[in-house]
Chains A and B, each alone.
Chain A
Amino acid sequence: MADASSKPVARPQRPLSPHLQIYTPLINMVMSILHRLTGAALYFGTLLLAWWLIAAATGPAYFDYVSSWFSPWYGQAVLIGYTWALFHHMLGGVRHFIWDLGYGYDLRTVDQLSWGSGALSLIITGLIWLGVAFARGGF
């Protein structure tokens, strides 16, 4: 048996573990991938938040200019996408908390948590933007 003083040995050629394309997509796997993608999207999306804060701190003219990027359909689409990414990632985080505490590991619960958080993220995003639309005086 090797002990702590052994030299690193040349690695034998073992088969590599199969990667994503080998598996049938399962809902918790899809949610796990989406957690990572939404995390990365939120990461780069912080540029928008910083830009908006800078605009507010700069003055009315620049603020109006920046706002004008967010009002057309593509600006709104980005904001809706960001809302969804945030809630998807947030609910994914809550799912992680449940697992971190040691609960919810039987397969039925895993599936329910995955479907549930996915659906809820869409529902919440829809409700928020409906609310925004109504507050602005309808569609």
Chain B
Amino acid sequence: MAMRTPLKTARQLGSAKEGADHFWKQRVTAVANLVLGLFLVWLIASLVGADHATVKAKLANPVIALGLLALIVSGTVHMRLGMQTIIEDYVHKDGSKIVLLMLNTFFAAAIALTSVYAILKLSFGG
């Protein structure tokens, strides 16, 4: 006799088998964000009130540009996963859920691409 309730195979499909991956990526990016977030606070604090030339020179510094790129990648992956959890917790109608999950991905991608573009332009754009 199987000691299982029908819930085990919700709709007979089982779980999506992606939960552990989501959890793990959220944690890895969280650790990265911890370090890179402190870096960002330092960077902005050191640039408060600075004029454009100073900001430009600082952001074009290779170490700073790499740090910012890492922050953007880690941050946007992390925030997309986090917002996905929020959407899945509160939105239960298939249609709106799918639309919101797509918008979430587009938003994270748009932030990532525009920021990376700006950083690369500051480094290489002359």
Say yes or no: B33 contacts A93, CB within 8 Å.
yes
CA distance A130 to B12 in the complex (A): 58
Question: Nearest-CB distance from A67 to chain B (Å)?
Answer: 8
Q: A22-30, A45-53, A108-116: which lies at the B interface?
A: A45-53
Count of residues in B whose CB is under 8 Å from the partner chain: 43
- Given contacts A2-B6, A8-B11, A93-B33, A59 and B52 within 8 Å (CB-CB): yes
Contacts of A100 in B (CB 8 A): 27
Say yes or no: B4 contacts A57, CB within 8 Å.
no
Q: Is B16 an interface residue (CB 8 A)?
A: no
- Given contacts A4-B12, A90-B33, A94-B34, A36 and B86 within 8 Å (CB-CB): yes
Say yes or no: B45 contacts A40, CB within 8 Å.
no
Question: Apart from A56-B56, A57-B119, what 7 extra A-B contacts exist at CB < 8 Å?
Answer: A1-B2, A4-B4, A43-B83, A49-B40, A54-B118, A60-B51, A136-B48
| 13 CB-based A-B contacts, threshold 8 Å | A3-B4, A6-B6, A8-B12, A43-B83, A49-B40, A50-B111, A56-B122, A57-B122, A57-B125, A60-B52, A83-B41, A97-B30, A97-B31
Interface residues of A (CB under 8 A from B): 1-4, 6, 8-9, 36, 39-40, 42-43, 46-47, 49-50, 53-54, 56-57, 59-60, 63-64, 83, 86, 90, 93-94, 96-97, 100, 128, 131-132, 135-136
